[in-house]
Amino acid sequence: MDKKGIGRRDFMKSSLAGFSGLFFLPQLDMKQELRVAEVKGKEKKFVYRTLGKTGIKLPVINMGVMNTDNPNLVRVALDSGMVMLDTAQVYQRGQNEGMIGEVLKGRPRDSYIIATKARLPNDQTTGLYTQEATEEAFLKKVDVSLKNLGLDYVDVYYHHNVWKKESALYEPILKALEKIKKAGKARFVGLTTHMNEPEVIQASIDSKLYDVILTSYNFQQKHYPEVRNAIARAAQAGIGIVGMKAIRGGSRQDPTVKNPAAALKWVLQDPNVHTIVPGFTTFEQMNVDLAVAENPLFTEPEKKDLEKVASISGLYCQGCRECVGQCLGDLPIPDLMRAYMYTYGYRNLTHAQDLVLSLNLPNRVCEDCTLCSVKCSVGFDVSKKIRDVVRLRNVPSEFIG
Amino acid sequence: MKTICLILGVIISLWAPRSEAKEFKFPEMIGWKQSGEIQTFIPKTLFEYINGAADLYIMYDFQELKVAEYQNEKKASITVEVYEHKTPTHAFGIYSQERLSNADFIDVGAQGYIENNTLNFLTGPYYVKMTSYHTGAEDCEILLTFVKKVSENLGTNGTLPAILSSFPEEGKKKNSEKFINRNFLGYSFLHSAFTADYELSGKKFKLFVIEGVGKNDCKDMIQKYLQQTKTSEKSPVEGRYTVADPYHGEIDLHWQGTYIWGTLSLNDSNLRSKYLKLLEVGLQKRK
């Protein structure tokens, strides 16, 4: 590792020092938030929080439905005390909403909270809307969702996947959201953000329109302090905060996920997060999540698990993308840094090689510059890592696989 | 870290020749130009493109996505997304999750369908999604022209998974078959299953088939399922089981060789027996 202070040991030391002050927040008095959930069969006490100015009281864990087509899993989640179901029109091309609609038939309308979302065509590289993104198009989307769900209204209707402030404030969609709310098709409107969250959250506050924000927030985000501050400002402004991607960016399948419950608790230690909507596909995973809703306080082993994982991930690029455009050779640095992480962090040479080969790199990489023009935000020697990882191009894939 | 460095060093010193990447080429289309670079996404980055929907694709062993956008002089555009999965069955799995059974199906690849501004199809391990913008009345025609070229370049064809033909036709909802890659019924020990929807005399139900990797694999699944549902059976043997599943109600299933098949959401025991038998016959035809 290079000598300029980003050695593994140094990083571990500095990261762990940071944990004591920031990584773990002061323990909350959960007793104030405990409430008996209406669970069929037996009584359960879940921690409840209020979703900002919406006034909706929710258990701190609810269900992200996106990955399942199993109606009985959704049914059991509701019967077990979860209240909010989070879906989107894009999930299984509307069939996720349709499946939820079937489950909801016959249930009192005030016994559940439905949040769904839609997005319009945008430029994937800039995050900005294209000319196809019109108010009318967005208004049509909500009608399709209501039809899929078999409902007259949803509780929260999100403007989906925003990562630029300009998009958060995109007037045709803001107008559409106002109309949707006014027409009673959604009780509240919100926005979802998976990247560049602080900027988007601030824009949402500035808009004075959004009631709820669904945001990525997890212990492995390099910029979690900024996300945490933005969330605090939004909560202060009365916006309801729903967390997502709490478990390793959302994927329970990721090999680095060792302790999903601890990851959920890390998000819930922040009192400004009102609920989380983790996705689960098994009853076992659901029970893990329900146990967290009963007691979101950390155990010591859970804290240690998180510290360990966070320290390791801090040794690799976290995708701030500040390096984009800095390379004189126009190399895709974030992708190459990710390949480096696959190689040394996850020890997954197949993924690393696949990625390197997919980048169509020039034959000579980092060989023509005497001085690297890239300034990594955390001081990594980018050129050295790139020269190291591109060697994977010369390894037969059969050997690695 | 040192170990990996060492391994890499050894590998590289032993094999100097450069390996070739398997590359799908987006076709040249007369009257259309590719705008911008071809975007590539792998499991780790897929969420950057399709955010929350990415997890489902990854559950179906997604390998790589390539995206190209074409534009013509009239500012119409076509986006072609080629999702590559580990096997044709995995590709069918994610395709089946998104397929609408009442879509307008077209003869392309293993199967495809077209709607306003959208054409999706399945071919080999690829699930291809095409979307058009500002193509006006010629929308359908343009998408069909594109699909011909794209499918040619992918060079595979194939058919839907052969096991689907085991599902009895009586009462089957057309194009309702699915492949669930993992956690079937919400249990991690039931790894994968094929399902089909049925409706008979107003009764809606499902049939399923689990294909084990061997007889022991099936035995292991049955054993765990019986434990989960507290059904007393210490060492399961091949044959029929009726299970009171706390989450799914009463399920009839049958284990024979490398297959487990059964019914879901079907209360009528006579119908359950009938369909278990029909499925058995269908599966026997495969042997």
Selected residues 338-397 of chain A with any CB under 8 Å from a CB in chain B: 338, 342-344, 347, 349, 351, 353-355, 357-359, 391-397
Q: Is residue A6 part of a domain?
A: no
Closest by Cβ to B18, choosing from A282, A358, A394: A394
Domain end marker among A246, A265, A297: A297
Estimate to the nearest angstrom the gap between the alpha carbon of A217 and the chain centroid.
Answer: 6
- Could you read off the pLDDT tens digit of each residue along chain B, which spans 287 residues? 445 544 544 444 334 333 333 467 899 999 999 988 899 998 878 888 887 788 899 999 999 999 999 999 998 999 999 999 999 999 999 999 999 888 999 999 999 999 889 999 999 999 999 999 888 888 999 999 999 999 999 987 778 999 999 999 999 999 999 999 999 999 999 989 999 999 998 899 999 999 999 999 999 999 999 999 988 767 899 999 999 999 999 999 999 999 999 999 999 999 999 999 999 999 998 76
Tell me, what amino acid is at B162?
A
A116 near B CB under 8 A: no
Contact (CB<8Å) A67/B1? no
**CA–CA separation, A110 and A123 (whole Å):** 38
* Cα end-to-end distance, chain B, whole Å: 49
User: Residue A151 is part of a domain; what is its CATH number?
Assistant: 3.20.20.100
Structure tokens at B253: 């299933």
Q: B232 to each of A147, B225, B228, how far by Cα in Å?
A: 44, 11, 10
Structure tokens at A122: 């945008």
Contact (CB<8Å) A282/B21? no
Candidates B176, B186, B166; CA nearest to B258 is B166
The pLDDT > 90 percentage for chain A reads: 58
Please indicate, yes or no, whether residues A383 and A254 belong to a single structural domain of this protein. Answer: no
The residue in chain A having the minimum alpha-carbon distance to the alpha carbon of residue B37 is A125
ipTM of the complex: 0.84
Closest by Cβ to A251, choosing from B17, B55, B247: B55
Domain with CATH 3.40.1000.20 in chain B: 162-286
Contact (CB<8Å) B247/A283? yes
Contacts of B133 (CB under 8 A, 6+ apart): A121, A130, A132, B76, B77, B78, B79, B117
Q: What is the pTM of this model?
A: 0.80
Helices A260-268 and A283-294: angle between axes, nearest 10 degrees: 40
Substitution target in B132, B183, B194 with the highest count of A β-carbons within 10 Å is: B183
Vertex B165: Cα angle to B162 and B170 (nearest 5)? 165
Contact (CB<8Å) B133/A132? yes
Give the minimum alpha-carbon distance from B287 to chain A in angstroms, rounded to a whole number.
30
pLDDT at A5 over 50: no
A368-383 pLDDT per residue, tens:
888 888 888 777 889 9
Instruction: Collect all residues of chain B within an 8 Å Cβ-Cβ radius of residue A343.
Output: 4, 8
Owning domain of residue A290: 25-297
Please indicate, yes or no, whether residues A192 and A132 belong to a single structural domain of this protein. Answer: yes
Instruction: Collect all residues of chain B within an 8 Å Cβ-Cβ radius of residue A392.
Output: 8
Q: How many domains does chain A have?
A: 2
The CATH code belonging to domain B27-154 is: 3.40.1000
Size of the A and B interface in Cβ pairs below 8 Å: 134
Nearest-Å Rg of the Cα atoms of chain A is: 22
A88 near B CB under 8 A: yes
* 3 state SS of A216: strand
Instruction: Collect all residues of chain A within an 8 Å Cβ-Cβ radius of residue B8.
Output: 343, 349, 391-392, 395
Please indicate, yes or no, whether residues A396 and A277 belong to a single structural domain of this protein. Answer: no
**CA–CA separation, A43 and A164 (whole Å):** 44
Substitution target in A123, A164, A193, A283 with the highest count of B β-carbons within 10 Å is: A283
For residue B279, the number of C-alpha atoms closer than 13 Å in the C-beta half-sphere is 32
Instruction: Collect all residues of chain A within an 8 Å Cβ-Cβ radius of residue B64.
Output: 354, 358
Report the pLDDT averaged over residues A298-305: 90
Give the minimum alpha-carbon distance from B198 to chain A in angstroms, rounded to a whole number.
16
Closest by Cβ to B98, choosing from A67, A92, A286: A92
- Judge contact between B60 and B127, C-beta under 8 A: no
Contact (CB<8Å) B52/A195? no
Q: Give the pLDDT of residue A40.
A: 66
A170-222 pLDDT per residue, tens:
999 999 999 999 999 999 999 999 889 999 999 999 999 999 999 999 988 87
Please indicate, yes or no, whether residues A265 and A359 belong to a single structural domain of this protein. Answer: no
A99 near B CB under 8 A: no
Please indicate, yes or no, whether residues A138 and A94 belong to a single structural domain of this protein. Answer: yes
Q: Which CATH superfamily is domain B162-286 in?
A: TM1622-like (3.40.1000.20)
Vertex A241: Cα angle to A239 and A245 (nearest 5)? 150
Candidates A190, A213, A223; CA nearest to A273 is A213
Give the minimum alpha-carbon distance from A164 to chain B in angstroms, rounded to a whole number.
13
A144 near B CB under 8 A: no
* DSSP string of chain B, one letter each residue: -HHHHHHHHHHHHH--SPPPPP-PPPPP-TT-EE-SPPEEE-TTTHHHHHGGGHHHHHHTTEEEEEEEEEE-TTS-EEEEEEEEESSHHHHHHHHHHH--TTSEEESSSSEEEEETTEEEEEETTEEEEEEEES-GGGHHHHHHHHHHHHHHHH-----S-GGGGGS-STTBPTT--EEE-S-GGG-TTS--EEEEEEEETTEEEEEEEEE-SSHHHHHHHHHHHHHHTT---SS--SEEEEEEETTTEEEEEEEETTEEEEEES---HHHHHHHHHHHHHHHHHH-
What kind and span of H or E run contains A181? helix A171-182
Please indicate, yes or no, whether residues A389 and A285 belong to a single structural domain of this protein. Answer: no
- For the beta sheet containing B249-256, the strands, ordered from the edge strand earlier in sequence to the opposite edge, are B178-180, B193-200, B203-211, B259-264, B249-256, B239-245
Q: Is residue A3 part of a domain?
A: no
Candidates A322, A316, A337, A319; CA nearest to A390 is A337
**CA–CA separation, A215 and A198 (whole Å):** 10
More confident residue, A230 or A377: A230
Please indicate, yes or no, whether residues A151 and A224 belong to a single structural domain of this protein. Answer: yes
Domain end marker among A297, A327, A342: A297
Q: Is residue A304 part of a domain?
A: no
Please indicate, yes or no, whether residues A73 and A141 belong to a single structural domain of this protein. Answer: yes
A8 near B CB under 8 A: yes
**CA–CA separation, A117 and A212 (whole Å):** 12
